[in-house]
Amino acid sequence: MTQKEQEIAIAKALSPDLKLCPIHHSYSCCNRKSLNYTSDLNAMMEPCKLLASKGWRCEANMETDGTWECFFTKPDTNITSGRADATHYGAGDTLALALAEAFLKTLGLWK
């Protein structure tokens, strides 16, 4: 998925009634929120809260090479889902990007 595709998929997961603007053909114009989940850790908190409300707990660990390992687990169960493939994330990439991938994988929205 491109980052833009990820942003739209996350926005739709948060607001299922999100509509494409008929004038600008965008999901992030006019009265819509800017879509910056993959680049802004603060923005990623809202998707993380959605998963938390469903019982998922976020696990994020920085590896010694600076990449992020990121996934969600359900405490008290063996269920682990949405593991971001840490090899996708070099030292220059952000935790927000890894969280976005893990979020979408946990909800089965990753393509």
Which residues would be at the binding site for Zn ion (CB under 5 A)?
21, 23-24, 29-30
If the CB atoms of residues 36 and 94 are measured against Zn ion, the closer one turns out to be 36
Cα 81 from chain centroid? 13
**Distance of closest approach, residue 50 Cβ to Zn ion, in angstroms:** 25
The three-class DSSP label of residue 1 is coil
Closer residue to Zn ion in complex, CB, 4/57: 4
Considering the complex, what minimum distance in angstroms separates the CB of residue 21 from Zn ion? 3
Least distance to Zn ion, CB of residue 7, Å: 16
Q: How far is CA 15 from CA 11, 70, 74, 92, 94, in A?
A: 6, 24, 23, 30, 24
Q: Are 91 and 65 in contact (CB under 8 A)?
A: yes
- Closer to Zn ion at the Cβ: 26 or 61? 26
